[in-house]
Structure 1
């Protein structure tokens, strides 16, 4: 049974990777297969183990400033509430990693969302920050991390990791996410779905859904000027087709919003620079 489901998952993701324009039906096949192979409880265990690995082996340092933490969580809360309408059983945990040179954010199975201070410093407004967080939340909703892990490490390795029997897979994943190796490779179909869902979530939270587009464009303009800093761009390449698709999706679905709270980001940047 598991072998058949793995074949279905692999077919769905390979089609998305090959075409770059996977249909909703095709993406839902991959999501359903991942859900059947890895339960919500196993995803939670994976996320918890990755968090431990990040803290103990990768030595990530969290921001402890209450004002910064409160700010990031206040931006993320309405976005994650919107995300929970599509996947209600996710219990989100938001952390801020202290690394001003890393323009990045990522989410792991189980709803663990990590935001680097470099992302806060790079964002020009709150809508851009919200766009990135909405995109990452959408990866969790779509079970993209579970799908990518099974394709990269194999179904059995991921299941054993969830059961605490495969520390090597967890260590590899944590190393990649921390920026010391290759992170999860999402298919183009997964990225398209995360763009679309993320736009919906940020708009539902009151933010301009084109914040992700402007952030893409800003990082692309800096590419080559600041090597090693634009980690998020390297794992989420904003091709012209992708940007055009997202703009078209936003217009077609009448998604709107504003740069809510624009005056709140500036003092947070000042605190981080100190």
Structure 2
């Protein structure tokens, strides 16, 4: 996938029955279905059953089984409630007779109320000062670990620019936070809010679990740690567009019991807080 149009061909599902949809998968470099893809596809399914103009404001999900890239995914939407202000949907993702994922999503009518938000960092490096994943592959590809190089070689519809580049050969523990700029490739000017939220959800599963490895980087890395997303929650606050770079700030309050917990906030470049994210993932040290 090289652009937003390629991404939408994956995220927009085919309707096969009432409240039932089928989706295909594209690899992002891992042997299983990317969690962000399943998250976004499930929201596409849920939104297709919303007929009252309400807007997604939160979702909570669990990854139950690894998804098979070769098999279609069927999404079954249950209409739980359409109340006076909120609508709730439950979506189950299946491959064959196996449930691989469940999500609950809530939609809210537009209302006026109080408003505040946390601020974006004042001294954050701007994307024009930074190298992208593509730049890093071009400049350092011959020196990167094989797995890292293979991951960076996968074509993606998003460009990422980490604020700090981590040297994989420098074995030292890192601070429990990081920031990444990202930008969607291609023309996104005609996207409606629901579609933008689905794409943002897809993007939100990139980078987040990695920050939970930072405090243990002197001994832990992707090669000696079994990792998998266990759950993913997201809250959507404000409308936005993808015509400029956006900032994903990430931190990790805790790791314990072979699980890592990470949080994130997504800002527009001018400092508008668009969404917040939380995820817990498996972080199991592999025995040598």
TM-score (norm: length of structure 2): 0.28
Higher strand proportion (structure 1 or 2): 2
Q: Specify which structure has the bigger relative contact order, considering alpha-carbon pairs within 8 angstroms and separated by 6 or more residues.
A: 1
TM-score (norm: length of structure 1): 0.29
Higher helix proportion (structure 1 or 2): 1
